[in-house]
Amino acid sequence: MKPLKPEIVLTGDRPTGKLHIGHYVGSIKQRLISQAEYQTNYLMIADMQALTDNAHDVEKIRESVLEVTYDYLGCGIDPEKTTIFIQSLIPELTEFTVIYMNYVTLARLMRNPTVKSEMQLRDFGNTVPIGFLNYPVSQAADITAFNATLVPVGDDQLPMLEQTNEIVRHINFHFETNILKECKPILSQVTRLPGIDGNAKMSKSLNNCIYLSDDRETVSKKVMSMYTDPNHLRVEDPGTVEGNPVFTYLDAFDPDKSELEEWKDHYRRGGLGDVKVKRRLEKILQAELDPIRERRAEYEGKANQIMEMLLESSKKARIVAQENLAKLKSVLGIDYQDMY
Amino acid sequence: MKPLKPEIVLTGDRPTGKLHIGHYVGSIKQRLISQAEYQTNYLMIADMQALTDNAHDVEKIRESVLEVTYDYLGCGIDPEKTTIFIQSLIPELTEFTVIYMNYVTLARLMRNPTVKSEMQLRDFGNTVPIGFLNYPVSQAADITAFNATLVPVGDDQLPMLEQTNEIVRHINFHFETNILKECKPILSQVTRLPGIDGNAKMSKSLNNCIYLSDDRETVSKKVMSMYTDPNHLRVEDPGTVEGNPVFTYLDAFDPDKSELEEWKDHYRRGGLGDVKVKRRLEKILQAELDPIRERRAEYEGKANQIMEMLLESSKKARIVAQENLAKLKSVLGIDYQDMY
């Protein structure tokens, strides 16, 4: 066995619904690699962050905490190797956040490209909740509370890590310390999966996701109903592969890349029907999802145990955050225990 | 003895230096009345809030925590009746803050008149630290964490209480609860004392304050050097009372209001010299400050005991904040202990 690399990796999801195959290829697969490769792995269920734009729909978040955990475990995230924790159970994160807020200006947050585009997406303008605007600061808190050195992200999230490292450098420089650690991204290689309707994004509200928890029949139906090339009307017509969700999914899941290339050529030439391509995708997807589904169902039957595990591992994570917060507060001089 | 009224009063100061006689007439006297009148009194040393615009001068804040406490105790704040606590020792306040941030928009904060004028004062514009901009939310956290129903403020701080009550009503309405309590102001009757140089504000940086900890000689020198009516050149000249700091101080401290009115008339007519008026003020001030100074010096000699008291009473306050936070999180559904 290769020795594990001494890095600290932190990732997380907002618990706003069950996870879908987009999460699987976009982040979970990377986490499986990561837990096999690195010494320390944290996986945060970001319920507090989910609140920043779901503040009036707390029940959804609460329910999703367990659902997301079933998804993780079903996919093979191993609680022995990856500390899964619930963000709100680490109150120290809010202390980090409130401290960091003094070192980040309004202008800096407004300039953050990720914040900008997320705000546009939600049509927020100035009516953005201050908690939402502040989420790069809150992410800096999450990352540094665990001294994470590696953070798997899509390239759209790079400005978040820049903000984190800015805070780190600022505090380290000003207080002449090296207590805070800069982090590096692990850039995900896979492009974002589109929805089955061809929409660029899988989204619960668009009802265009294939969930890790979907049963065989549902997966089958969803694949067969997928949007393809709208100009590929008859089997003999030439078809377009690029931007065709069925082929995008195959790119992500098909283990036989050379055969896939042949199929693509065939589709482009004409003579390969959508139904046949979808059947290929379905077979591959079911094979990938079958064991996940099976394990997931098992865990779902043990809700109490799973919740107990989450509470326990959150406690474990909390101790780390507590230690790091105490160090930071000592450097900053926000402590009084030693004053008498 | 009259029974104490069942209200919960919360006030506080930013520990950014020793307290001066402006604090004394502006807030401490009200606190002495309050602790004699109400059942529950909290006095918060707002070190975290002081950080919002002193993030690079933490040492000043740290030192001021004890200095301010000496000032309180010297003035007669009784730790048996008033729970004095250090804000940063109640981490639950940052949890309240981060939760409330989801219910307040950027536009709402930018519209807050107190925030606006404080930002102008500091020439912040968009370079305002987000923590500073957010301080109405942080104050809402402080107030509601203790279920405070009465908050002594100057009328310039009324928008802060409005913001607090907005959050309270919003959450109570949305989550169909009455867990959060609205608060009312105790409006201070005394106008703000100007600096001894005639500047509208006493400020350490302007070096125009009379501190509660100043010795007799310093107080004497400061009073004798006070700015008065610049057109009152000779004793026989008529003088102006309005806006004359010496008379403003006398208004605040002179127990003999009718004799003071006679002196004012005399000064207006001419024939009353500045030195004589200043001597009157000095005598009155020294009489008021003598016992404060004496007690303060005593406490200053017991730094260890005082710090121990602060840590103890902060622990006591923390328990209250913990209970109230647990209730809020339960209403909001940010709790998982009962899910298994």
ipTM for this prediction: 0.91
Q: What is the pLDDT of residues A24-64, one digit of tens each?
A: 998 999 999 999 999 999 999 999 988 887 877 888 898 99
Please report the pLDDT score of residue B155 as a whole number.
83
Report A:210-249 residues touching B (Cβ under 8 A). none
Please report the pLDDT score of residue A338 as a whole number.
66
Contacts of residue A258, defined as CB under 8 A and 6 or more positions apart, other chains included, come to none
Token digits of residue B64: 């001021």
Same fold, A5-193+303-339 and A214-298: no
Please report the pLDDT score of residue A340 as a whole number.
53
Please report the pLDDT score of residue B338 as a whole number.
66
Q: How many CB atoms lie within 10 A of CB B46?
A: 24
Q: Is the pLDDT of residue B189 over 80?
A: no
Q: How far apart are CA A164 and CA B58, in angstroms?
A: 21
Q: How many CB atoms lie within 10 A of CB A191?
A: 12
Confirm if B17 and B71 have CB atoms less than 8 A apart.
no
Q: What is the pLDDT averaged over residues B221-231?
A: 96
Please report the pLDDT score of residue A172 as a whole number.
97
Q: Where are the domains of chain A?
A: 5-193+303-339, 214-298
Please report the pLDDT score of residue B188 as a whole number.
74
Q: Is the pLDDT of residue B298 over 60?
A: yes
State how far Cα B154 lies from the chain centre: 9
Please report the pLDDT score of residue A126 as a whole number.
84
How far apart are the two ends of chain A, measured CA to CA in Å? Answer: 51
Q: What is the pLDDT of residues B125-160, one digit of tens each?
A: 889 999 999 999 999 999 999 999 999 988 888 999
Q: What is the pLDDT of residues A155-209, one digit of tens each?
A: 888 999 999 999 999 999 999 999 999 999 998 776 689 999 999 989 888 999 9
How distant, in Å, are the alpha carbons of B28, B210, B215, B317 from that of B219? 19, 7, 6, 36
Do residue A130 and residue B106 have CB atoms under 8 angstroms apart?
yes
Please report the pLDDT score of residue B51 as a whole number.
85
The full length of chain B comes to 340
Q: Which of B59, B103, B337 has the CB atom closest to A55's CB atom?
A: B103
- Residue A65: closest C-alpha in chain B: B336
Long-range contacts of A68-71 (CB under 8 A, 24+ apart): A68/A13, A68/A15, A68/A18, A68/A19, A69/A45, A69/A299, A69/A306, A69/A310, A70/A213, A70/A296, A70/A299, A70/A300, A70/A306, A71/A18, A71/A19, A71/A23, A71/A28, A71/A212, A71/A213, A71/A296
Q: How far apart are CA B95 and CA A49, in angstroms?
A: 12
Q: What is the pLDDT of residues A78-124, one digit of tens each?
A: 999 999 999 999 999 999 999 999 999 999 999 999 999 888 888 88
How many percent of chain B have pLDDT more than 90?
83
- pLDDT confidence of B318, banded at 50, 70, 90? very high
Please report the pLDDT score of residue B92 as a whole number.
97
Architecture field, domain A5-193+303-339: 3-Layer(aba) Sandwich (3.40)
Q: Which of B59, B101, B339 has the CB atom closest to A130's CB atom?
A: B101
Confirm if B296 and B73 have CB atoms less than 8 A apart.
yes
Do residue A98 and residue B131 have CB atoms under 8 angstroms apart?
yes
Do residue B130 and residue A101 have CB atoms under 8 angstroms apart?
yes
Please report the pLDDT score of residue A53 as a whole number.
76
Looking at residue A235, its amino acid is: V
Do residue B127 and residue A133 have CB atoms under 8 angstroms apart?
no
φ, ψ of residue A105 in degrees (nearest 5): -90, 160
Please report the pLDDT score of residue B339 as a whole number.
62
- pLDDT confidence of B52, banded at 50, 70, 90? confident
- Tell me the three-class secondary structure of chain B, residue by residue: CCCCEEEEEEEEECCCCCCEHHHHHHHHHHHHHHHHHEEEEEEEECHHHHHCCCCCCHHHHHHHHHHHHHHHHHHCCCCCCEEEEEHHHCCHHHHHHHHHHHHCEHHHHHHCHHHHHHHHHCCCHHHCEHHHHCHHHHHHHHHHHCCCCEEEECHHHHHHHHHHHHHHHHHHHHCCCCCCCCCEEEECCCCCCCCCCCCCCCCHHHCCCCECCCCHHHHHHHHHCCCCCCCCCCCCCCCCCCCCHHHHHHHHHCCCHHHHHHHHHHHHHCCCCHHHHHHHHHHHHHHHHHHHHHHHHHHHCCHHHHHHHHHHHHHHHHHHHHHHHHHHHHHHCCCCHHHC
Please tell me the pTM assigned to this model.
Answer: 0.92
Side-chain-facing half-sphere of A25: CA atoms under 13 Å: 21
Q: Tell me yes or no: is domain B214-298 CATH 3.40.50.2000.
A: no
* Residue entry with tokens 């307290």: B19
- 3-class DSSP state for residue A107? helix
Token digits of residue A74: 């079903």
Do residue B311 and residue A55 have CB atoms under 8 angstroms apart?
no
Q: How far apart are CA A62 and CA A88, in angstroms?
A: 11
Q: Which of B105, B308, B336 has the CB atom closest to A127's CB atom?
A: B105
- pLDDT confidence of B205, banded at 50, 70, 90? confident
Please report the pLDDT score of residue B271 as a whole number.
95
How many percent of chain A have pLDDT more than 90?
83
How far apart are the two ends of chain B, measured CA to CA in Å? Answer: 51
How far away is chain B from the Cα of A110, in angstroms, using its nearest Cα?
Answer: 9
- Residue B173: closest C-alpha in chain A: A56
| DSSP result, A296-330 | HHHHHTTHHHHHHHHHHHHHHHHHHHHHHHHHHHH
Q: Which of A51, A65, A308 has the CB atom closest to B102's CB atom?
A: A51
The DSSP element (H or E) to which A283 belongs, if any, is helix A274-300
Q: Is the pLDDT of residue B323 over 90?
A: yes
- Residue B51: closest C-alpha in chain A: A102
Looking at residue A326, its amino acid is: A
Token digits of residue A200: 């660029």
Q: How far apart are CA B25 and CA B248, in angstroms?
A: 12
State how far Cα B331 lies from the chain centre: 32
Q: How many CB atoms lie within 10 A of CB B52?
A: 21
Pick the range with the lowest mean pLDDT from A177-191, A304-318, B248-262, B321-335. A177-191
Q: Which of B66, B311, B336 has the CB atom closest to A307's CB atom?
A: B336
Confirm if A58 and A88 have CB atoms less than 8 A apart.
no
- pLDDT confidence of B243, banded at 50, 70, 90? very high
Q: How far apart are CA B292 and CA B285, in angstroms?
A: 11
Q: Is the pLDDT of residue B340 over 60?
A: no
Q: How far apart are CA A196 and CA A206, in angstroms?
A: 10
Q: Which residues pair with B132 in a beta bridge?
A: none
Q: How far apart are CA A138 and CA A88, in angstroms?
A: 12
- Residue A170: closest C-alpha in chain B: B56
